[in-house]
Amino acid sequence: MTERLLVLVRHGQSEWNLKNLFTGWRDPDLTPLGVEEAKMAGRRLKAEGYQFDLAFTSALSRAQKTLDLALVELGQTGLPVTRDLALNERDYGDLSGLNKDDARVKWGEEQVLIWRRSYDVPPPGGESLKDTVARTLPYYVTEILPKVLQGNRVLVTAHGNSLRALIMVLEKLSPASIMKRELATGVPVIYRLRADSTVESVIDLAA
């Protein structure tokens, strides 16, 4: 039986998540908690009996390290891995590296909220979620989805917004709905797809 398994994992907590900074394409490391979250993702998947044929991750180290740590727990350190910037976090442009509270002081609460939670308004020099979907979705359609439909069990570790772009398509969510969708760090979301690429079932392995 063809499994058509796709598992998405947001990277563990990063140093900048902890400091409440806009991260985007900047490349901070995982915190000790983030390391443990990444390991826990692997343990949860192993406990449920999941194994994988290949994996995808972004060009940023926090996602790559999350994948590496999870694969150690799964006993699959030799798994073929593809890294691509198409799966990178949304680029926050001029906000990158700024404390979110400081940004509210500089530009105002309402403007920062629009940049963070609107679908198609980008921050200065950065990407909106719509832009992130336009970057991430073609990569999913051409590189990841065909592997899943061929029966490969695929693990993807990436970022809150690049994964939202995939989830928006997988779950047929509206722009308003996807902006409200929260993804916990280090928690696997498991999809089984039908042959026509639609979702047959979804399981969130939240603790």
Tens of pLDDT, residues 67-92: 999 999 999 999 999 999 999 999 99
Give the pLDDT score at 201: 95
Work out the average pLDDT over 55-77: 98
Q: Rounded to whole angstroms, what are the CA distances from 51 to 7, 148, 172?
A: 10, 14, 27
Structure tokens at 178: 């996807």
CATH number, residue 196: 3.40.50.1240
What is the number of domains present in the chain?
1
Question: What local confidence, expressed as pLDDT, does residue 207 receive?
Answer: 54
Predicted model pTM: 0.95
Annotated catalytic residue 159: no
Q: What distances in angstroms separate CA 27 from CA 56, 89, 97, 105, 134, one per listed residue? A: 18, 10, 10, 25, 22
Give the pLDDT confidence score for residue 179 in this predicted structure: 80
β-pairing, 153-158 vs 81-83, is unpaired
91: left (phi over 0), alpha (psi -120 to 50) or beta: beta
Which residues does 168 contact at the CB level (< 8 Å), separation at least 6? 133, 175, 178
Going by C-beta distance under 8 Å and a sequence separation of 6 or more, which residues neighbour residue 165?
129, 132, 133, 135, 136, 137, 140
Out of 73, 89, 127, 159, pick the active-site residue: 89
Q: Which domain holds residue 134?
A: 5-204
Binned at pLDDT 50, 70 and 90, residue 206 comes out as confident
11 is catalytic: yes
Mean pLDDT score of the chain, rounded to an integer? Answer: 94
The reported pLDDT for the residue numbered 3 is 87
Enumerate the β-bridge partners of residue 154: 6, 54
Q: Which of 11, 37, 73, 127 is catalytic?
A: 11
- Kindly report, residue by residue over 93-109, the tens digit of the pLDDT: 999 999 999 999 999 99
